[in-house]
Amino acid sequence: MKRSLNIVKVGGQVVEDDSRLNTLLSGFSAIEGNKLLVTGGGRTATAIASELGIESRMVNGRRITDEAMLRVVTMVYAGYVSKNVVAELQAKGINAIGLCGADLDLIRCVKRPANPIDFGFVGDVKGVNTRELKLLIDAGAVPVVCPITHDGMGQLLNTNADTIASSLASALASEYDVTLTFCFEKKGVLSDPDDENSVIPEIRRADFERMREDGTVSDGMIPKLDNAFAAIDAGVNKVVITNAESLGTDSGTEII
Amino acid sequence: MKRSLNIVKVGGQVVEDDSRLNTLLSGFSAIEGNKLLVTGGGRTATAIASELGIESRMVNGRRITDEAMLRVVTMVYAGYVSKNVVAELQAKGINAIGLCGADLDLIRCVKRPANPIDFGFVGDVKGVNTRELKLLIDAGAVPVVCPITHDGMGQLLNTNADTIASSLASALASEYDVTLTFCFEKKGVLSDPDDENSVIPEIRRADFERMREDGTVSDGMIPKLDNAFAAIDAGVNKVVITNAESLGTDSGTEII
C-alpha cells in the first residue's frame, strides 16, 4: 500500500493576512504524515511591485511578467513569503524547507509562446523531478514550494501556483496516495456567490461543464477546477476546495 | 579518511556584476567533489531598499535591520540572488538547492542584544544542523546558502554572510576535510591597498595582530580575517581569500 501525502495549496488572500495564515499553518501542521505546501502570494507581489513603481498587468487572471516583474515575484514568492512560512512552520515543529522549481531541478518549465498573448517570463510545466522530492519527503522534510520555476538554461520563470500544486500532485500520485487541497478565501465552490454557506459538497466533471455554461463558476474558479480535474485524471485520490479555517475538516467542495 | 568539501563564499560586488558572477559560478562548477556556496548580496539589497524608499544604515560595516529592511534582505538574499544563482548553476549541470538558515532548521541564531548598538533583526549563530546538511551533500546536492537565518520561534534574522560561511565550515569540519574560500573583489589580502598585485601569500595569527595594529588591514577585512581564523581554530583545513577570477587556482592569501 502506498503511503499518504497531503498537498495543500494556499492562495494570496490567506498569505497576506497574518491571522488567517497562522490558522492555515496550524491546520497544516496538524495533518499527520507526509505533507507538502504550495504557497501563492500574488497580492503581496502586486503591493511590492506598486511600491517599486511597477504596474501589475493581468490578462485572464494571469500576470504579465516582464523582467522587472520577474524580479519582484522572485523576491516575494521565493524570498519573503516562502521563508516567513518556513520560519513559522519550524516554530510549530514542522521540518519545512522552502523550495522553488529551480532548486534540485524540481520543476522544469518551458517559456510560454508569445502568441496569442505575450505573458513574458511565464512558464508552463514540462516535468516534475519526483525522485528528489521523494528523497526529501521520505527524510521527513516538508517542502514549501513557491511558484517560481526555471527552464534549465538559467532562466527563472513565473508559474501559476494552482498549476504547480496540481502538477506536483499528479506527478507524485505514482508514489503516494495523494490528497490535494486548495485553500482560498471561500468555504468551497459556492452555488450562490453572495451566500457564503451555499457550498457545493461535490462536483463531477459533468456538473462542472454545466456550471461553466450557466455561469455558476467563472473567472479564477475555472482554471482552479481545470487544475483539480487534471489532478484527478492523473491519479490523485482526492481534490478538495475549501478555506484556511476548514483545513483538515470534512467541509468544502470535493472534486470527483 | 574524510571526504573533501569546498565551501566558497561570494560577496556583494561579485553577485551584482553578471559577468563576474558568471566567471565565479563557472569556477565553482569546475570544483570536483562536494561543494557548498554562500552568497552575499548587500549591495543589491541597498539598491532595492533605496528603490523602495528605505535608507540603509550601517554601523561598523554591519547593516541595521529594522522590520522594513528585514523584508528587503529576505526578498533579495533568499529570493532574487539565491534563486538566480541556483538557476545558473543548474544550467551548468550542478544540482544546486537554495537554502536559508530557517530551511530544515539549518542555522539557528539568537537575536543580537540591543546593547551597546541595536542592530535590529540581526542574528548571531547559535548552532548549525550538520545532520541535514550532510544528508543533502551526500545525496549529491550543492547547497547555496544565503545569510537569512531564524530564531526557531518564527522570526527571521539577518546574519553576516562571512560569519555564515565560517560557521558552516567550522561545523562541517568534523564530517569533511573542509576548504573555505572567501571570494571578493581583490586578488587577496593586499600589503598595499593601491597595488592590486601586492597579495600577501600567507597570513599567520601573529601577522594578523601586527597588520591590524599597523593598519595594513582595516575595515571589512578585519571581521573577514577574524572569521577565517575562527574557522581554522575549529578544524577547517584551509582558508583562502581571493577573487572570483582566481577560484580554483593557487593564488590568493592563505590563512594558516
In chain B, which ranges are continuous DSSP H helix? Answer: 12-15, 18-30, 42-51, 67-73, 82-91, 130-138, 161-172, 205-214, 221-233
Residue B65: pLDDT band by 50, 70, 90 thresholds? Answer: very high
**Would you call B78 and A95 a contact, using CB atoms and an 8 Å cutoff?**
no
pLDDT of A41: 85
Please identify among residues 103-142 of chain B the ones whose CB lies closer than 8 Å to any CB of chain A.
Answer: 103-105, 135, 139, 141
The pLDDT confidence band at residue B250, using thresholds 50, 70 and 90, is: confident
* Min Cα separation B114/chain A (Å): 22
Per-residue pLDDT tens digits of chain A, which is 256 residues long: 789 999 999 987 888 888 999 999 999 999 999 999 999 888 899 999 999 999 999 887 788 999 999 999 999 999 999 999 999 999 999 999 999 999 999 999 999 999 999 999 999 999 999 999 999 999 999 999 999 999 999 999 999 999 999 999 999 999 999 999 999 888 999 988 889 899 999 999 999 999 999 988 887 788 889 999 999 999 999 999 999 888 888 889 999 8
Q: Which of B51, B82, B104 sits opposite A97 (nearest CB)?
A: B104
Q: Could you tell me how many residues make up chain A?
A: 256
Look up the domain containing A36 and give its range.
4-255
Beta pairing class for A107-111 and A123-128: antiparallel
pLDDT digits over B107-159, tens only?
Answer: 999 999 999 999 999 999 999 999 999 999 999 999 999 999 999 999 999 99
What confidence score (pLDDT) does residue A71 get? 96
Reply yes or no on whether the pLDDT at B99 is more than 80: yes
Contact at CB, B98 and A78, closer than 8 angstroms: yes
In angstroms, the Cα distances linking A84 to A26, A76, B113, B156, B171 are: 14, 10, 22, 7, 25
Query: Using one digit for the tens of pLDDT, what is the confidence trace for B12-38?
Result: 788 888 899 999 999 999 999 999 999
| Residue in A closest to B69 by C-alpha | A80
Number of domains in chain A: 1
State how far the Cα of B5 lies from the Cα of B206, in Å rounded to an integer: 28
pLDDT of residue A42: 84
Q: Which amino acid is at B245?
A: E
Measured distance between the N- and C-terminal CA atoms of chain A, rounded to whole angstroms: 22
Q: Residues B90, B137: contact at Cβ < 8 Å?
A: no
Name the residue with cell 581571493: B242
Of B96, B100, B105, the CB nearest to A83: B100
More confident residue, B1 or B32: B32
pLDDT at residue A216, as a whole number: 86
A225 Cβ under 8 Å from any chain B Cβ: no
Distance set, CA B91 to CA A60, B41, B219 (Å): 32, 21, 36
Q: Which pLDDT score, from 0 to 100, does residue A93 have?
A: 97
Closest Cα of chain A to B232: distance in Å? 30
Residue in chain B closest to A131 (alpha carbons) equals B139
Contacts of residue A99 in chain B, CB cutoff 8 Å? 97-98
Residue A85 is inside which H or E element, if any?
Answer: helix A82-91
| pLDDT in the model for residue A230 | 94
A77: contact with B, CB 8 A cutoff: yes
Total Cβ atoms within 10 A of residue B22: 15
Dist. CA B22–CA B254, nearest whole Å: 24
Interchain contact, A152 vs B91, CB within 8 Å? yes
Inter-chain contact A98–B103, Cβ cutoff 8 Å? Answer: yes
Look at residue B70 in the predicted model and tell me its pLDDT: 97
For residue A70, the distance in angstroms to the closest alpha carbon of chain B comes to: 9
Residue B155: closest C-alpha in chain A: A87
Q: State how far the Cα of B122 lies from the Cα of B160, in Å rounded to an integer.
A: 8
Q: Is there a contact between A98 and B102 if contact means CB atoms under 8 Å apart?
A: yes
Q: What's the pLDDT score for residue B193?
A: 84
The shortest CB-CB distance from B90 to any of A90, A102, A135 is to A102
Residues across chain B? 256
ipTM value: 0.95
Please list every residue in chain A whose beta carbon sits closer than 8 Å to the beta carbon of residue B95.
Answer: 104-105
Q: Which amino acid is at B149?
A: T
Residue of A nearest to B102 (CA): A87
- All three cell numbers of A155, joined, read 532562466
Domain with B40 in it: what CATH number?
A: 3.40.1160.10
List, as ranges, residues 143-182 from B with C-beta within 8 Å of A: 148, 150, 152-156
Per-residue pLDDT at A132: 95
Q: What is the DSSP string of B90-128?
A: HHTT--EEEE-TTGGG-EEEEEPPSSS---BSBEEEEEE
Contact A83 B141 (CB under 8 A): no
B-chain residues near A95 (CB < 8 A): 104-105
pLDDT, tens digit (0-9, with 9 covering 90-100), for A193-228: 889 899 999 999 999 999 999 988 887 788 889 999
The H or E element that residue A71 is part of is: helix A67-73
Q: What is the pLDDT of residue A193?
A: 84
Predicted local distance difference test score (pLDDT) of residue B138: 95
